[in-house]
Amino acid sequence: MPDLAPVHITTRSGDVRVLTEEGIELSVEGGTVEQHDDGTIHVRRAPSASRIEVRCAPGTDVTVGTMSGKIELLGNLGAVRVATASGKIRVVEAASIDVRTKSGKIDIGTCSGECRIMTKSAGVHVGSAARATVAAISGVVLLDQVGGAEVKTVSGKVLLSLAPSAGPVSVHTVSGKVEVRVPAATRPTTRLRSISGRIQCDCPPGEDGEIAVASVSGAIRVSSD
């Protein structure tokens, strides 16, 4: 299989949509295309267009830089990087993900590697990830079927469901409530600490992975499916 040229898409505003298609090299609507010396393909929104649509081969690395507008990355991509200020972000499937935004909504389907999300107030949903690193000031962080996680929020609530045989989990909040669900019959090692929040653990102790949760005033609950 030939090397896939990474695609960089930039537009100050307007929607961005990326789809994958077997056998296709690259197809762009609403944008200008330029190949740089390092092999990367740069797509910029054409002045007359209101959105960019890119079709590329599955597994392509895609980087998107915008200020606003909806970003939809559909299909099965390689390394995905998104930096924007606001707007809805949807990534269906990628090998690794780095998303940075101030606000909006972040919806990740499946990430087979590291899924890193940095936001101020966006709501976050991850369907599944080998490992998730999430930092948020506020906004709900919902992580399903993650194989390990490191989460930091100030006031955002954290709801986390672990995949079977998950690796270490570390959650820190200041005032956000934390709920961790582990697969049935899992006996994790837990380190739960809250200065003024209620702590509840319904799982028997064991050595099936480590769960560390610390909060200043948020309640903590660890339970099994």
Partner 1 sequence: MAEHGAIVFTDIVGFTALTDTHGDDVALALLERQEEMVRAARPLTARVVKELGDGLLLWFDDPRDAIDTCLRLQRDFDAVNEAADSGPLGAIADVGNVPLWVRMGVHWGCPRRRGDDIVGRDVNLAARIVDLAGPGEVLCSEATAEVIGERAGVGFEPLGPVFVRGLTEPVPIVRVLSAAGEGCGDRTDGRVRGTASR
Footprint on this chain of partner 1 (rule: CB under 8 A): 6, 8, 10-12, 38-40, 42, 61, 63-67, 78-79, 81, 83-85, 98, 100, 102, 114, 116, 118, 135, 137-138, 152, 154-155, 172, 174-175, 193, 195, 212, 214, 216-217
State the nearest-atom distance from the C-beta of 183 to partner 1, in Å: 25
| Residue number with CB closer to partner 1 (167 or 183) | 167
Distance CA 103, CA 88 (A): 8
| Residue number with CB closer to partner 1 (55 or 81) | 81
| Residue number with CB closer to partner 1 (80 or 203) | 80
Residues in the chain: 225
State the nearest-atom distance from the C-beta of 123 to partner 1, in Å: 16
User: Between β-strands 26-29 and 105-119, what pairing exists: parallel, antiparallel or unpaired?
Assistant: unpaired
| Residue number with CB closer to partner 1 (8 or 181) | 8
State the nearest-atom distance from the C-beta of 119 to partner 1, in Å: 9
State the nearest-atom distance from the C-beta of 147 to partner 1, in Å: 14
| Residue number with CB closer to partner 1 (110 or 138) | 138
SS (H, E, C) the chain: CCCCCCEEEEECCCEEEEEECCCCCEEEECEEEEECCCCCEEEEECCCCCEEEEEECCCCCEEEEECCCCEEEEEEEEEEEEECCCCEEEEEEEEEEEEEECCCEEEEEEEEEEEEEEECCCEEEEEEEEEEEEEECCCCEEEEEECCEEEEECCCCEEEEECCCCCCEEEEECCCCEEEEECCCCCCEEEEEECCCCEEECCCCCCCCEEEEEECCCCEEEEEC
| Residue number with CB closer to partner 1 (20 or 138) | 138
State the nearest-atom distance from the C-beta of 170 to partner 1, in Å: 9
State the nearest-atom distance from the C-beta of 1 to partner 1, in Å: 16
In this structure, the number of other CB atoms found within 10 A of the CB of residue 70 comes to 17
